[in-house]
Chains A and B, each alone.
Chain A
């Protein structure tokens, strides 16, 4: 570690700024979506696939046991049909999915910058990371 006396701030890599820019915008959007989706859900502004009271009556059970009883939204099940999508619980669930998708969007945006800046190893690492997250989000691993 070296300390250098200078008032000028060191430049930050272009790809890092690209990642930060997408992260900034999407994180604000996701937080708004989280709040809006939840309000829609708990104030019952839209119909629900599984009522809140039913969830609350079973939240002491294991996830597998609750799922066997209630068929609440899991994975991408809420986009099975337009009817299942336009529901309060599905909307709130979608907001959680959006939060989980943020790193994917950031990495997809940043990967080309790594190649442009002649850092292909990190471009490949970013793409591999996207593949891992895509596999996780496909549900293949838990079937």
Chain B
């Protein structure tokens, strides 16, 4: 039996090899386009998509990232589906994950309606605009921009810090007027944590931009919601993560309609992605206490960077 450190090393080694393989193998082998070298029946692709989403679901939970941000760049790089349908499915993956996890988090007071609703109101409008722009732009341009955004997200994830219990000495006037503050029970230390926020107006601007990017690329945008809540507004990390789910469930639902009306939502692709990701997330949640999440996070960020570079290359027509 391996000691825990070796176990985590072994757990980290397998996906590292996978990431390297993904980088080395030519994209034509994965049929990432109409000139597919690997022809297969539709059900083979659907099954592969389900299995792939399942594995992504596990790693997404272990790395503490949303499913959509991994799903869109990787599936658009290695599956034969057009980016339009992958983005539509990506939104549904993020939306379904947030919806299925939402109720218990709200009952515990971790996801906060008063904090999330104003941000979702702003974000949902821009996510609709983002989806419209994304579906109007040439596919190659969107692929190129997706590559840039994903590489930037990987860098942000590596560099950005996080604060468990930020201290906000003076709340801003707007958050005071809206009574945006709260209290929750922190199980890990057995204490109640009360919180308040600052820089609310600036946060609205950030949520406007995040909603646009989320809608345009079909990303869940939890990667950006959490740092804005946590580092900018001073919301405790757990409340930030939980409330981010509430925001992206509303933003995702708004943008998804644009994809549906533009014919970019294929149940054949979206439903197995949702199913695989949700099952994988449940397994990931069970593995969470046994795996070195720090190592997994580094690997997932590396995979994200690889997928981002592939998107960039595809965007340049390489």
Contacts and interface: CB of A to CB of B under 8 A. Distances in A.
Nearest to A135: B128
B93 to A, nearest CB: 11
A15 B190 CA distance: 25
Contacts, number: 218
A56 interface: yes
B268 A56 contact: yes
B262 A142 contact: yes
A86 to B, nearest CB: 16
B246 to A, nearest CB: 9
Nearest to A58: B82
B29 to A, nearest CB: 16
A125 B263 contact: no
Contact of B194 (A1, A31, A66): A1
Interface stretch (B9-17, B55-63, B114-122, B298-306): B114-122
B120 A129 contact: yes
Interface residues of B, number: 84
- Secondary structure dominating the interface of A: helix
Nearest to B166: A1
Contact of A142 (B106, B132, B190, B196): B132
B107 A17 contact: yes
Interface string B142-154: 0000000000000
Given A60-B80, A64-B263, A12 B108 contact: yes
A53 B104 CA distance: 40
A104 B178 CA distance: 22
B254 A136 contact: yes
B95 A3 contact: no
A125 to B, nearest CB: 5
15 contacts: A1-B166, A3-B189, A4-B192, A16-B107, A20-B107, A27-B100, A27-B103, A60-B82, A61-B34, A63-B88, A103-B99, A110-B113, A128-B121, A129-B250, A139-B261
Given A42-B46, A136-B124, 6 more contacts: A3-B193, A13-B113, A27-B99, A75-B261, A133-B250, A133-B254
Interface of A: 1-7, 9-10, 12-13, 15-17, 19-21, 23-24, 27, 30-31, 34-35, 37-38, 41-42, 52-53, 55-56, 59-64, 66-67, 72, 74-75, 89, 92-93, 95-97, 99-104, 110, 119, 121-122, 125-126, 128-129, 132-133, 136-137, 139, 141-142
